[in-house]
Every structure is written in structure tokens, then in C-alpha cells.
């Protein structure tokens, strides 16, 4: 008599286009736009808003490459799978997967400390204690289940986006704006102006980092061939519109000298607002940072799970209980590392290098697609882009990566 071996529980395909888009917006929109407008304005002045458009155009090339690769290989630890398929080197795939997971861990650690700092201002409790609380609560939500985790993240994302829309609405209603005229924000076709825009776009790029995390939940997406490309492009378009509207508003309302030195530029829009409005926006900023912790946890744990599921890390890290259908051991490992980092290491320098880690991964991912396109194509259906897309993706990623050291 034949016996059938019970299958190990796998991740649940539960993410639809709206949920995946909200997940993408949640991991992309957040701390970046909430803190970067001032820094970009310090470099590009009135042209800072246009730098977000330039960054979006650069990121869109790699996003299209991700859309094809994620539908070719709809698995967790997507970047590692892409690099292994393209370069046929297992060790390189493991390095890429670990780099992606580390970028998420570092980002989540830095954001958790930021969230705790905002909470400290409201509660007076110690930042280390609040950091442990934030990481622990977000870890429990991540363990709960992918649908529940992404639903929580989706609700927070809606609040976060509503906060940006509120900034735009409130700012555009200000009677006496103190910033740049809107007509001065389009850069002229001059070398000096374009140089400033490009330099600021390196910072603006950081605000778009995160969309690639959508590839790492591909194993939990319904109908990935249709859903993933649509969700990736929707995420980038919506994020770009929000960034452009928010940056134009802040540049229009806030005095340039004040804006350029602020680490919380969006709050400056409410300088003359009632206290309840200021506190309400501060609460939204806290929610935005907490959301970043949760989503980075989800991403990093799925990368670790994916590597373990393919035998490239200890098999125990691929454990998925039937009850939660989430990678519990991998998630606990990620939460533990984040707790250690937040309590023992200066995150600032590491966080600055996160973008360079991501750009390095972008180069390898685009190169992998170029190599795959040179091979005989598989008969299976998947989303396709022309070969010049990953070629341009490699070039622009190397350019940004190199410029980061200047």
C-alpha cells in the first residue's frame, strides 16, 4: 500500500492586489518622506521636489526588472533566487539574501529607535524601554499571520497616507506661505541646476527604498503573475504622487532657512496650527515609524525562511506551524537581532549604509535578469520587459551607488 508523506506546511497565498499594494506603500512611504524633504531642500533649494521625480524614474527601471523576476520566481527570498538563477552560484545567492535581510533588520532597528523617541516625548518613559516594547509588539503581530500582519500594516498605511494628504491640504490652505513660489520649483535646463537636482535625487532615492520588499512576500500572493507587476507599479506611481505633492507643499509653506535645517520638516507646516492639530500629526508620525518596523520584520523573516527552505540556511529556520502559517523561528530570530541592535549598537552609521546595500543588490538583480534573458526562455507565462530595462537598471544603480561615496 502506498503511503503519502504529510507535506510540511507552506506559506499561505492570501495577498491580493489591494493588500500587496498597501504593503508596498507601507514599506516605501514612511520615514523617508517624513524626514528627507528638509535634507533635499538643503541641497537643491526650490528644485528639491523635482528630485523625487528623478529618483522615481531611476527606481522604476529596477522595479520593472523586479516585476518580471518576481513572476518568474514567485518565492520568498526573491533576490537570492534571482541571483542564483542568473549567475548559477549558490554562495552569491546566499550573500544577496543575507544582505537584503540585514538591510531590513538595520532599517527596522533605526526606525524602532525613532518611534521610541517620538513616544518618549509624549510619555516620558525611557527610550530603551519603549524600543523594546515597540519591537516586541510588532514581533507578536508579525508572528500572528501574514493576512493579519498585512491588514494591520495596511490600516496603519492608510493612516500614514492620510497624514501626508492632511499635510498637503493644510499647507495649501495657509494664507501667508513663507517658502518658495511654486513657479520657481521647476529647474531650468542649466548644468548647475541639474547638478543640484541629481545630487538631491540621491537622498530622494532613499524614500523609495522598500518597494523591492514586495518580491519577498511573492510566495504569499494570489495569482502572482498578474498581481505582482500591477502592485509594484501602483506602489511607485502612488508613492511618487504623494512625495511630489508633499514636497511641493512643504517647500511652498516653510521658510527655506528653517526647512533646510529641520529633521522633522512636515511638522513645520503646522507651526501656526492649534495644539490639537500638532499633537494629532505627531501621533500619525509615530504610527508611520511603527509601521516601518512591522513591515521590515515581515520582509527580513521571509528572506531567512526562503533561504532555509532551499537548504541554504539551517532547516529549522523554515519551520512553519500549521496554526499561524508564518515562519515563526525566522521571525523570532529577526526580532531578537533587532532587539540586540537597538540596545547595543549605534545604528546611525549602519543605517546610512543600508541604501548602498540595496543599490548593490539592485545591480546584481538587474544583471541576473540580463543573464536569464540570454538563456532559452521557459514556456511558462510571466511578465516580460525589454532587455534594455535591466541594462539601464544596472547603469543607474551603479551611478547612484558610486555617487553615494562622493
pLDDT of residue 7: 40
Terminal-residue alpha carbon distance, the chain: 69
What is the Cα–Cα distance from 28 to 206, expressed in whole angstroms?
9
- Tens-level pLDDT at each residue, the chain (406 residues): 444 343 444 556 667 778 888 778 877 776 667 667 877 888 888 888 898 998 898 888 998 998 888 888 877 667 778 888 888 888 888 888 788 888 888 877 877 777 777 677 667 777 788 888 888 888 887 777 666 666 776 777 788 888 889 999 998 888 788 888 888 888 888 888 888 888 888 778 877 877 777 776 777 777 777 788 888 889 889 999 999 999 999 999 888 888 777 656 777 888 788 888 888 887 887 777 777 777 778 878 877 887 787 777 777 777 777 766 777 788 888 888 888 887 776 555 555 567 778 888 899 999 999 998 887 665 567 788 899 999 999 998 888 777 655 5
- Grid cell for residue 138: 510588532
* 25 close to 161: Cβ distance less than 8 angstroms: yes
Residue 209 has phi, psi (to 5 degrees) of: -65, 130
Return d(Cα 304, Cα 295) in angstroms, integer.
15
Grid cell of 58 as nine digits: 531611476
CATH of domain 17-374: 1.20.1740.10
d(CA 274, CA 179): 21
pTM (predicted TM-score): 0.76
Rounded to the nearest 5°, which phi and psi values hold at 232? -65, -50
Q: Three-class SS of residue 347?
A: helix
CB atoms within 10 A of CB 297: 26
pLDDT of residue 1: 44
Burial of 6 (0-12, 13-18, 19+ CB in 10 A): exposed
Query: How far is 324 from 220, CA to CA, in rounded Å?
Result: 13
> What secondary structure, in 3-state letters, does 250-292 show?
HHHHCCHHHHCCCCCHHHHHHCCCCHHHHHHHHHHHHHHHHHH
Q: Are the CB atoms for 251 and 40 separated by under 8 Å? A: no
Helix (H) or strand (E) holding 362: helix 347-374
pLDDT one-digit tens code per residue, 251-264: 998 888 887 776 56
Phi, psi angle pair for 90, to nearest 5°: -65, -40
The b-or-e profile of 72-86 (16+ CB within 10 A means b, else e) is: bbbbbbbbbbbbbbb
Reported as a single tens digit per residue, the pLDDT across 375-385 is 766 556 778 88
* pLDDT (0 to 100) of residue 243: 92
Cell match 541646476: residue?
A: 193
d(CA 296, CA 134): 13
Amino acid at each position: 500500500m502506498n503511503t503519502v508523506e504529510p507535506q510540511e506546511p507552506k506559506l499561505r497565498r492570501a495577498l491580493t492586489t489591494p493588500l500587496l499594494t498597501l504593503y508596498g506603500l507601507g514599506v516605501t512611504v514612511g520615514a523617508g518622506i517624513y524626514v528627507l524633504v528638509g535634507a533635499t531642500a538643503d541641497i537643491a533649494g526650490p528644485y528639491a521636489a523635482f528630485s523625487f521625480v528623478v529618483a522615481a524614474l531611476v527606481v522604476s527601471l529596477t522595479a520593472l526588472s523586479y516585476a518580471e523576476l518576481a513572476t518568474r520566481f514567485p518565492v520568498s527570498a526573491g533576490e537570492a533566487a534571482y541571483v542564483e538563477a542568473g549567475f548559477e552560484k549558490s554562495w552569491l545567492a546566499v550573500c544577496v539574501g543575507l544582505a537584503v535581510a540585514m538591510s531590513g533588520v538595520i532599517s527596522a532597528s533605526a526606525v524602532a529607535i525613532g518611534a521610541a523617541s517620538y513616544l518618549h516625548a509624549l510619555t516620558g518613559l525611557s527610550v530603551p524601554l519603549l524600543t523594546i516594547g515597540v519591537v516586541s509588539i510588532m514581533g507578536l503581530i508579525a508572528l500572528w499571520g501574514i493576512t493579519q500582519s498585512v491588514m494591520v500594516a495596511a490600516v496603519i498605511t492608510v493612516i500614514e497616507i492620510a497624514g501626508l494628504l492632511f499635510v498637503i491640504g493644510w499647507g495649501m490652505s495657509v494664507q501667508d506661505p513663507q517658502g518658495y513660489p511654486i513657479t520657481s520649483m521647476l529647474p531650468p535646463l542649466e548644468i548647475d541646476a541639474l547638478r543640484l537636482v541629481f545630487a538631491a535625487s540621491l537622498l530622494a532615492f532613499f524614500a523609495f527604498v522598500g518597494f523591492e520588499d514586495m518580491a519577498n512576500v511573492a510566495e504569499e500572493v494570489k495569482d502572482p503573475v498578474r498581481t505582482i507587476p500591477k502592485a509594484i507599479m501602483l506602489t511607485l506611481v502612488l508613492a511618487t504622487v504623494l512625495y511630489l505633492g508633499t514636497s511641493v507643499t512643504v517647500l511652498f509653506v516653510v521658510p527655506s532657512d528653517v526647512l533646510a535645517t529641520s529633521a522633522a520638516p512636515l511638522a513645520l507646516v503646522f507651526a501656526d496650527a492649534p495644539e490639537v492639530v500638532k499633537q494629532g500629526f505627531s501621533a500619525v508620525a509615530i504610527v508611520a515609524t511603527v509601521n516601518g518596523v512591522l513591515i521590515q520584520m515581515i520582509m527580513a523573516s521571509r528572506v531567512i525562511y526562503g533561504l532555509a527552505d532551499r537548504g541554504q540556511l539551517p532547516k529549522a529556520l523554515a519551520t512553519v506551524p500549521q496554526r499561524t502559517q508564518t515562519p515563526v523561528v525566522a521571525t523570532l530570530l529577526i526580532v531578537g537581532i533587532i532587539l540586540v541592535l537597538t540596545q547595543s549598537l549605534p545604528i546611525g552609521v549602519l543605517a546610512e549604509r543600508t541604501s548602498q546595500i540595496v543599490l548593490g543588490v539592485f545591480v546584481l538583480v538587474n544583471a541576473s535578469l540580463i543573464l536569464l534573458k540570454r538563456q532559452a526562455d521557459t514556456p511558462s507565462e510571466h511578465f516580460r520587459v525589454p532587455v534594455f530595462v535591466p541594462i539601464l537598471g544596472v547603469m543607474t544603480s551603479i551611478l547612484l551607488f558610486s555617487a553615494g561615496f562622493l
